[in-house]
Amino acid sequence: MGFSNYQIAGKPAGTSKSNLIYITYTKYENDWPSFMHTHPFTELFLVTGGVGEFYVENDVYPLKKGDFILVNPNTSHTEKSGEENPLEYIAVAVDNYSLNLDNEANHFMFNCILKNPDIIKYMDSMLNEQENNKPYSDHICQNILEIILIEILRTTKTNVDTEPTVNSSKECFKLKKYLDSNYASKITIDDLARLSNLNKYYLIHSFNRYFGSSPINYLCKIRIRVAKELLKNSDYSIDQISQSAGFSSQSYFTQCFKKDCGMSPSAYRQKERIG
């Protein structure tokens, strides 16, 4: 009789404190506002289809299927896609985790198809659990996340930092993601309170604590960033831009824009195009 016995030394150091915040699937459909932004947590990206570009700090990387990107907390980044072969990806947000990379780097990229196909399988499993709303899916996804983080350590051969990056509130992070995706819709604080099942006064206090702004002010900042991109890169009228960015009227848009940028939308467009 053949028999093998393997002693288990214990949990690997450095991954047991990580917290899963959210999992998302995104596909470009010509409505993708692309602007540089940061998060107080680590994000993992897996490209599942299409092509595009990934901007992180001062670097730009072409993206294709199987590419995996880890972005440490507070690192400026964004994604861009063309229309002919739209980009698709899974994103996972992780608190209490960041990678200690060489030369003070704040991101790491490799192709899973070439280096570690198992990560694709695990990321797909996490998304499947959440999409099908299976019993105990959050618990299963947290455990799958631990496996992914270990696979990342195997692939990158680096160390990990598990000091908390932010005192997470799952409800606030969900609302932030909702605002990021639905900025063009009419949204009130009462709507957000209903979505999160939180008292609106507690919601405002908590959101401000985690993100340094009230939900409505945060929403306004997103709309201003979207408007800036449209002013620079499109020929839409000011009224069309105010509607596309989610403002209730052109006059309110102009008022908010002047307050944030110190000039009118028309003056900003002229300045950017001359420059």
- In this structure, are residues 203 and 215 in contact, taking their beta carbons and an 8 Å threshold? yes
Confidence band of 171 (pLDDT split at 50, 70, 90): confident
Q: Report the number of secondary-structure helices (H) and strands (E) in the chain.
A: 10, 10
Domain coordinates in residue numbering, the chain: 19-161, 169-275
pLDDT value at 212 more than 90: no
Query: When comparing pLDDT for 150 and 31, which is higher?
Result: 150
Region 246-264 average pLDDT: 93
pLDDT value at 166 more than 50: no
Fold of the CATH domain 19-161: Jelly Rolls (2.60.120)
| Predicted pLDDT at 168 | 45
Spell out the CATH class of 169-275: mainly alpha
pLDDT value at 236 more than 90: yes
- Distance (Å, whole) CA 71 – CA 69: 6
Amino acid identity at 209:
R
pLDDT value at 46 more than 80: yes
Amino acid identity at 242:
S
| Predicted pLDDT at 84 | 85
- In this structure, are residues 148 and 44 in contact, taking their beta carbons and an 8 Å threshold? yes
* 207: Cα separation from own chain's centroid: 17
pLDDT value at 16 more than 60: no
| Predicted pLDDT at 201 | 76
- Distance (Å, whole) CA 108 – CA 147: 18
Instruction: Give 73-116 pLDDT, tens digit per residue.
Output: 878 888 988 778 999 999 998 888 888 776 667 898 999 999 99
* Buried b / exposed e along 134-165 (16+ C-beta atoms within 10 A): eeebeebbeebbbbbbebbbebbeeebebeeb
* pTM across the whole model: 0.63
| Predicted pLDDT at 13 | 53
Q: Which two tokens stand for residue 248?
A: 């209730």
Give the pairing type, strands 107-111 and 52-56: unpaired
Q: Which two tokens stand for residue 38?
A: 């940061």
- Report, in this order, helix, strand and coil percent for the chain, each rounded to 5: 45, 20, 35
